Structure 1
């Protein structure tokens, strides 16, 4: 019997994506959850599928490219000045405390730190997708949430590099850490310079192009190139894609860029979540069940504290800070990257943890407005246009 064609497998997956997306509309639940479950179901047949893996990479790059378009350099600088206290609190609560929990449980320090890395970063893709799907991108907490995600995207590659260095048995030197920081700083400064020089009059160039097909190739090419450059430097492709979007953020009528790229994102982004599900392979039993229960509890509590305390430091009200905390609990792509470094039972443990936190986090995200209203009461809408009697 001939080998099952890769192209046929990709086509079947796209048909499943359609039906699961349609099912999510009927069930009135985020399609991201069903896409991950679809990946888990299909993992036995399409694990390590080349086309799906490539499409998932493109999907996540485009998502962050579009996200970067929303952040002008001036706005990003303002967020950076405000977000660093909450960002450092996030590192302490979700990387530091989880590492301590692992050591307390009796894990080797390396695996304890690896566990801290798995538990640290909120899933940028899931959170950004849900912000758009639920219509909450314009809410007051969205800027704070996106600021935390950006901060984590800067810290997470450093955590990955340290873990990879430790996994070889050779500790990471101060020189290696310095080189990594220089790379992040360099690629960011380069994006700023390109945005202020090469792309300063980019809108005038776009006005001369009337064929949308060429524009698609141009925009996707910019996003993939800068994301690939970040990977080549040993950083995260999502960081590079975000910076690529930021380079074009000052273009007039930026909606033209978004309208051109959105259809491609709608096709390939679901593949990322399906492929993420295929990386999770369950076996009989749940290893280290007591530790799993402790970590799930603290992972939710730690992110909620980042929202409640960090949101207050950022200048948000208690109501908005609480809603932000409920929206930060999902774990995803960075957790998968770090978990892939593990082996044996610990890799299985990490996979189960990621699936649980992805599902619980998405549920808390979608229920955040209702839960906030139950705790603080429904917000009082300000009445506008009232006329004074006799006027």
Structure 2
């Protein structure tokens, strides 16, 4: 693309995503699938106006959106919270992974597309979308809810698993020959992750001094450069760029500059996240997806069932009542960026061509269904009550709601299942409230 064409594509993508999402929000639809729908309608695979000829034209902007989303998630989580959660948190995340990854692996073998394809499908069906789940929590104003801490904890356990899973899967997809080559390739990835974890655990004071600056402009340039650079190094070493960005957020989130960084990254995250989902929409060919509609429908039903079951078990393990349990179970259903990463890896490895179309349809359906289920989680409470399996009520369910005073300039967003308004600001982190 030429310079003028690039500017037209960028500006048109931002405006198209904003206008369609704005129209959808007025009738209660979540923004994420609307951004994706804008990409589908204005992409090369549908008739009418073609705003962007190829998803690669927005590849860098889309990658930046993913990096910022995962960087923000890292800011919102601290290693102390992971340690305080202890065995129950790891048990909740482990149960979720066991049910969903196991179901995905069994589904992959049942399709009969091949053993390597089944290993990819285990991750596609098994791991929630950190980007979409984070966006759901922000859109619904649930960052300050007590159950959100468990949701983010499950995501972090999933992210840690994903890092190891990708490191182990890379040589399998690359069809690496020889034990030595396999160990060398996996060792690079694991070594890099261990180095980042050590910095997150022991080096935050030094990092805090290095990035401490009064000028907001310099702070933005610093954290943005660090997140993008480490994401790039991660990809070179065989680790997903999203994992590197998450680890940088984890490190910066424990510094004295963390509150300012959360505030400054907020508008950047929202803007480029829209382009990430728009860019994903550009890659979807509705015709190809129609050819795998049956497997997509079966996989969506399987994921919805296993995610809800695992979420309810995790909620019971932590003593949450009916509504928080329903929030946990439905919020974690969404699948997204990690599935796309796996699809891209599979395409590069020359795996079954149906896999990419399957992942596109599967993610699109769950990107719509996930936010809708989360926003209307009250249906699950009523269903559980009807069958007599509602989790035991806790003081959190029966206590009078605490009056909420929105910060200056904040907008309350009550939801049907959550009448108490909560302002979705980066300051309302359940992980920093003690």
TM-score (norm 1): 0.86
Deviation (angstroms), 1:172: 8.3
Residues 1:266 and 2:270 aligned together: yes
In structure 2, C-alpha distance between the alignment counterparts of 1:213 and 1:277, rounded to whole Å:
32
Residue of structure 1 equivalent to 2:400 = 382
SS of corresponding position for 1:166: helix
Other structure's SS at 2:332 match: coil
CA RMSD of aligned residues (A): 2.9
Matched residue SS, 1:71: coil
1:140 to 101, 126, 146: 146
* Matched residue, 1:192: 201
TM-score by length of 2: 0.78
CA separation in 2, counterparts of 1:157 and 1:216?
Answer: 27
The residue aligned with 2:422 is: none
**2:241 aligned with 1:237:** yes
- Offset, 1:12: 1.4
The match for 2:253 is 249
- Partner residue in 1 for 2:123: 117
Question: C-alpha offsets along residues 71-103 of structure 1, whole Å, 9 cap, x if unaligned?
Answer: 333223223643222222233222222222332
How many residue pairs get aligned? The number is: 379
Stretches of 4+ moved more than 6 A in 1? Answer: none
Paired residue for 1:389?
none
Q: Distance in 2 between matches of 1:32 and 1:94?
A: 23
Paired position in structure 2 for 1:388: none
Range that drifts further, 369-378 or 136-145? 369-378
**Cα distance in 2, alignment partners of residues 83 and 192 from structure 1:** 18
Q: Using the alignment, how far apart are the partners of 1:33 and 1:56 within structure 2? A: 15
The alpha-carbon deviation at position 294 of structure 1 amounts to 2.4
Identify if the C-alpha distance between structure 1 residues 66 and 292 changes in structure 2 by more than 3 Å, giving closer, same or farther.
closer
> Kindly tell me: are residues 100 and 13 of structure 1, through their superposed partners in 2, closer, same or farther at Cα, counting changes over 3 Å?
same
Deviations, residues 222-267 of structure 1 (Å, cap 9, x unaligned) = 2223333322332122222222222222344743222222222232
Give the superposition deviation at 1:306: 1.6
Contact 2:140 2:375 in 1 (8 A): yes
1:34 is matched with 34
Instruction: Give the alignment partner of residue 304 of structure 2, picking from 278, 300, 320.
Output: 300
Deviation at 1:109, TM superposition (A): 1.9
Q: 1:172 to 1:333 in 2, by over 3 A?
A: farther
Q: Does 1:316 align with 2:326?
A: no
* Residue 85 of structure 1 pairs with residue 91 of structure 2: yes
Supply the distance in 2 between the matched residues of 1:384 and 1:320 (Cα, whole angstroms): 16
**Deviation for aligned residue 1:273:** 0.8
Unaligned runs of 5+ in 2: 45-49, 404-434
Inter-partner Cα distance in structure 2 for 1:312 and 1:374? 16
Paired position in structure 2 for 1:337: 341
Q: 1:71 aligns with which of 62, 70, 77?
A: 77
Aligned to 1:43, the other structure's residue is in SS state: coil
Instruction: Please state if 1:165 is matched with 2:171.
Output: yes
How many angstroms apart in 2 are the aligned matches of 1:250 and 1:315? 28
Runs of at least 5 residues in structure 1 that lack an aligned partner in the other structure: 386-391
> Are the aligned partners of 1:114 and 1:338 in contact in 2 as well (CA < 8 Å)?
yes
2:37 and 2:3 map into 1 onto residues whose CA distance is 26
Greater shift after overlay, 350-359 or 249-258? 249-258
In structure 2, how many angstroms separate the alpha carbons of the residues matched to 1:365 and 1:383? 21
Distance across 1 between alignment mates of 2:218 and 2:205 = 23
Tell me, yes or no, if structure 1 residue 372 matches structure 2 residue 381.
yes
Encode CA deviations 1:321-357: one digit per residue, 9 max, x unaligned.
3321111111100111112214422322222112112
Q: 1:65 to 1:306 in 2, by over 3 A?
A: same
1:129 deviates by 0.7
